[in-house]
């Protein structure tokens, strides 16, 4: 009685051993490191020459790394402390743009896991912002601008549609009213308006179309339906999240957290980043791109600059050097239609180029435009929205300034569609333009409404306090169980220790991010994990008090207490799943550790403790047991 077959002992031992191995990396801590990667230029790699140059420059500056790890993707330099890391980071950040343009330097915390554990795929848990230090931003999307941009895009499409169908109209523009916006089209007669309405209804299901009667004018008002508005807002939110993630990834920030909050906000956490100004530079560029055809020539541009009166079908822009240029009002492609971009060299001329790939809709639009514009100039317009907050009469007023400049104007050499290259750029300019295009355009401008910087010293203090609280609770529980249940209590303590090991191993395998609420979840799990053993041991005591033999009491204690243990843990697990499903940020971290802790406690408190008890007392004639 109370004996496991050999295979079950071996299985439990194997699981415990494997979990111990995968939990070990969390004991070795992290080294302050400087990471050098290819950044925005995908055609660059970390070569042996790059490694030698970096090491030489560091030796000249007397900044010797403890260890250098080298791969085509990145060069990782480990240092003995954060002071040496900061000095090396500042030094390399200043020299790399001059000697190695295109490479990006970032501060990092590299796990100090031994190579033999790394070869087994064992990695430590990620540490959250509150434990590691870094920068936290809460960003709000300007949804009104997103809708306005969609309306302007539809205006260009409607102009093209009416021209193709030879439908004459007197005017088309955005309509701004107290109840909302929309697009207004004015037609010369009733018949044309009717044809246009039928055409628009067929082509665009996202519009709610109404006719407006004004003397001598026949108007159509096109407004987005509720579903179309919701889809537009969801699209703006998702695209902005993707763009922010691309920007952060391109610039080498390790383990960023970028997630939505509500319907118009995004939370961005950059662990390990202490320079708030640099983080704002990465994320705060609320920019977009437009491709437009160039109108006229240099004389026309200068005349428009002098008179301030551009042609009716064109707008006056300026290049980055301040020189004027006229661009057509109609937009060919916007930045949100770009799938990919990379800096490269032209195979025929050897000159730097930027290779661009569009989505299907943008490719069709580009194909139709370039087909009839070979030999003409096409320009890339960079548009940036800058948020300014001023105080007027004691109240903060937020305004947005819109900056537009032409970053490139190149001749269309041949017809193209989804994939093409932009020429006439220098090597550095080609790489920078590739970064801008590849990272993507924000669908709508955003502003930072909350920012917090957590220093590494505070993160270290949080870790120490969290570990101290875990240790105190663990020792207290062990003392109570040892005093209350004697040797059986020590077995429960061993099971509790294994519970922590298995839980940490699972969190490490899942590469979960540990935060302060996560530590709270682990501490709560320590208290709850022994509940199962308390129920089992109390049941064994009752069976012994009823005159049953020790062996039958042990069996009854584990078998009859199981239903109660299972039910109580399932109800807690349901609460944990609900917290994870509907919670955000810290709540999710707490829910993950709580839910995993319930599962691991069921395994250790029932199977592991039963295996130890069976090994110690199973199959023996007992007169009493120390419980």
Tens-place pLDDT, residues 282-297:
665 555 678 899 999 9
Angle at alpha carbon of residue 541, lines to 538 and 542, rounded to 5°: 90
Higher local confidence (pLDDT), 286 or 106:
106
Q: Give residue 142's pLDDT band: very low, low, confident or very high (50, 70, 90).
A: confident
Q: What is the DSSP string of 443-510?
A: SS-EEEEEEEEE-HHHHHHHHHHHHHHHHHHHHHHHHHHHHHHHHHHHHHHHHHHHHHHHHHHHHHHT
Domains 30-111 and 143-228 share a fold: no
Among 66-70, 137-141, 280-284, the least confident range: 280-284
Among 212-221, 285-294, 568-577, the least confident range: 285-294
> Taking 90 as the threshold, does the pLDDT of residue 325 lie above it?
yes
Q: Specify the pLDDT at position 250.
A: 56
Higher local confidence (pLDDT), 128 or 292:
292
143-228 classified as CATH 3.40.50:
no
Among 51-55, 73-77, 398-402, 489-493, the least confident range: 398-402
Q: Give residue 428's pLDDT band: very low, low, confident or very high (50, 70, 90).
A: low
Spatial distance between the Cα atoms of 252 and 99, rounded to a whole number of angstroms: 19
pLDDT, tens digit, 9 for 90 and up, residues 166-178: 888 888 888 766 5
Express as a percent the part of the chain with pLDDT over 90.
8
pLDDT, tens digit, 9 for 90 and up, residues 608-620: 998 998 888 887 8
Spatial distance between the Cα atoms of 554 and 1, rounded to a whole number of angstroms: 9
Spatial distance between the Cα atoms of 603 and 624, rounded to a whole number of angstroms: 27
Higher local confidence (pLDDT), 525 or 608:
608
Q: Give residue 502's pLDDT band: very low, low, confident or very high (50, 70, 90).
A: very high
505, 22 in Cβ contact below 8 A? yes
Q: What are the structural domain ranges in the chain?
A: 6-25+456-617, 30-111, 143-228, 285-453
Mean pLDDT over 535-561 rounds to: 88
Q: Specify the pLDDT at position 40.
A: 44
Mean pLDDT over 541-560 rounds to: 88
Spatial distance between the Cα atoms of 569 and 467, rounded to a whole number of angstroms: 25
Higher local confidence (pLDDT), 153 or 61:
61
DSSP three-state, residue 331:
coil
Spatial CA neighbour of 597 closest among 484, 514, 491, 486: 514
Q: Give residue 109's pLDDT band: very low, low, confident or very high (50, 70, 90).
A: confident
Question: Where in 280-435 does DSSP place strands (E)?
Answer: 286-293, 314-318, 324-328, 333-334, 338-345, 352-358, 377-392, 395-411, 419-422
Q: Specify the pLDDT at position 42.
A: 46
Question: At a CB cut-off of 8 Å and minimum separation 6, what does 358 contact?
Answer: 333, 337, 338, 339, 366, 417, 418, 419
Distance, CA of 170 to chain centre = 47
Higher local confidence (pLDDT), 590 or 388:
590
> Taking 90 as the threshold, does the pLDDT of residue 21 lie above it?
yes
Question: At a CB cut-off of 8 Å and minimum separation 6, what does 219 contact?
Answer: 184, 185, 186, 187, 193, 211, 212, 213
pLDDT, tens digit, 9 for 90 and up, residues 252-311: 565 677 888 888 888 888 876 655 666 665 665 555 678 899 999 999 999 999 998 888
> Taking 90 as the threshold, does the pLDDT of residue 20 lie above it?
yes
Q: Give residue 390's pLDDT band: very low, low, confident or very high (50, 70, 90).
A: low
Q: Specify the pLDDT at position 41.
A: 42
Report the mean per-residue pLDDT for the chain: 81
> Taking 90 as the threshold, does the pLDDT of residue 327 lie above it?
yes
Q: Looking at the whole model, is its pTM more than 0.85?
A: no
Q: Specify the pLDDT at position 402.
A: 73
The domain made up of 30-111 has a fold known as Alpha-Beta Plaits (3.30.70)
Spatial distance between the Cα atoms of 139 and 265, rounded to a whole number of angstroms: 6
Among 131-135, 216-220, 221-225, 389-393, the least confident range: 389-393
The domain made up of 285-453 has a fold known as Gyrase A; domain 2 (3.30.1360)
Q: Specify the pLDDT at position 387.
A: 56
Q: Specify the pLDDT at position 278.
A: 60
User: Residue 256 has which token pair?
Assistant: 């960023």
CATH number of 6-25+456-617: 1.20.1640.10
Q: Is the dihedral of CA 335, 341, 343, 346 positive or negative?
A: negative
Among 22-31, 313-322, 463-472, the least confident range: 463-472
Question: Which letter does DSSP use for residue 563 in this model?
Answer: H
Spatial CA neighbour of 365 closest among 166, 145, 163, 156: 156
Q: Specify the pLDDT at position 404.
A: 84
Is 304 exposed, middle or buried, given 0-12, 13-18 or 19+ CB atoms closer than 10 A?
Answer: buried
* Residue-level length of the chain: 627
Reduce the secondary structure of 5-33 to three states and give it as a string: CHHHHHHHHHHHHHHHHHHHHHHCCEEEE
Angle at alpha carbon of residue 517, lines to 514 and 523, rounded to 5°: 90
Express as a percent the part of the chain with pLDDT over 70.
86
Element (H, E) at 513: strand 513-514
């Amino acid at each position: 009685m109370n004996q496991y077959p050999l295979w079950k002992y071996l299985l439990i031992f194997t699981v415990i051993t494997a979990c111990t191995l995968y939990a070990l990396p969390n004991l070795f801590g992290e080294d302050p490191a400087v990471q050098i990667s290819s950044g925005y230029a995908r055609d660059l790699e970390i070569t042996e020459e790059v490694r030698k140059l970096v090491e030489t420059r560091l030796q000249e500056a007397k900044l010797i790394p403890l260890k250098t790890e080298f791969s085509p993707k990145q060069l990782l330099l480990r240092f003995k402390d954060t002071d040496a890391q900061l000095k090396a980071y500042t030094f390399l950040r200043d020299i790399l743009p001059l000697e190695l343009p295109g490479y990006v330097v970032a501060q990092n915390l590299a796990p100090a896991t031994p190579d033999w554990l790394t070869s087994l795929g064992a990695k430590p848990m990620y540490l959250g912002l509150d434990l590691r230090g870094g920068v936290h931003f809460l960003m709000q999307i300007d949804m009104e601008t997103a809708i306005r941009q969609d309306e302007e895009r539809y205006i260009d499409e409607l102009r093209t549609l009416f021209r193709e169908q030879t439908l004459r109209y007197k005017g088309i523009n955005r309509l701004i009213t107290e109840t909302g916006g929309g697009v207004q089209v004015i037609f010369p007669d009733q018949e044309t308006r009717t044809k246009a309405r039928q055409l628009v209804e067929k082509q665009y299901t996202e519009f709610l179309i109404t006719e407006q009667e004004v003397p001598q004018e026949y108007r159509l008002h096109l407004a987005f339906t509720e579903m179309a508005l919701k889809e537009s807002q969801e699209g703006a939110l998702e695209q902005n999240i993707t763009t922010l993630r691309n920007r952060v990834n391109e610039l080498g920030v390790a383990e960023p957290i970028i997630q939505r909050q509500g319907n118009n906000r995004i939370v961005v956490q950059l662990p390990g980043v202490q320079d708030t100004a640099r983080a704002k530079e990465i994320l705060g560029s609320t920019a977009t791109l437009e491709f437009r055809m160039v109108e006229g020539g240099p004389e026309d541009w200068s005349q428009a600059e002098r008179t301030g009166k551009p042609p009716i079908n064109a707008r006056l822009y300026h290049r980055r050097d301040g020189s004027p240029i006229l661009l057509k009002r109609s937009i060919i492609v916007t930045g949100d239609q770009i799938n990919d971009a990379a800096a490269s060299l032209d195979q025929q001329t050897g000159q730097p180029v930027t290779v661009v790939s569009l989505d299907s809709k943008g490719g069709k639009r580009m194909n139709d435009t370039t087909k009839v514009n070979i030999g003409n100039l096409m320009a890339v317009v960079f548009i940036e929205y800058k948020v300014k907050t001023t105080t007027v009469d004691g109240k903060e007023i937020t305004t947005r300034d819109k900056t537009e400049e032409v970053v490139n104007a190149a001749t269309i050499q041949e017809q193209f569609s989804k994939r093409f290259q932009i020429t006439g750029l220098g090597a550095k300019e080609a790489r920078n333009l590739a970064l801008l295009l590849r990272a993507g355009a924000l669908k709508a401008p955003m502003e930072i409404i909350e920012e917090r910087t957590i220093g590494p010293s505070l993160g270290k203090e949080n870790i120490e306090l969290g570990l101290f609280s875990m240790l105190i609770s663990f020792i207290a529980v062990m003392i109570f169980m040892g005093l209350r249940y004697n040797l059986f209590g020590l077995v429960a303590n061993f099971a509790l220790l294994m519970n922590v090991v298995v839980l940490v191993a699972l969190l490490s395998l899942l590469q979960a991010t540990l935060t302060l609420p996560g530590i709270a979840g682990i501490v709560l799990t320590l208290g709850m994990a022994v509940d199962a053993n308390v129920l089992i041991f109390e049941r064994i005591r009752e069976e012994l008090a009823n005159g049953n033999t020790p062996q039958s009491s042990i069996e009854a204690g584990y078998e009859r207490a199981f239903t109660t243990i299972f039910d109580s843990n399932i109800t807690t697990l349901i609460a944990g799943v609900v917290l994870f499903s509907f919670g955000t940020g810290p709540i999710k971290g707490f829910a993950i550790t709580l839910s995993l802790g319930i599962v691991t406690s069921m395994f250790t408190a029932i199977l592991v403790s039963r295996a130890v008890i069976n090994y110690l007392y199973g199959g023996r004639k007992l007169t009493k047991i120390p419980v």
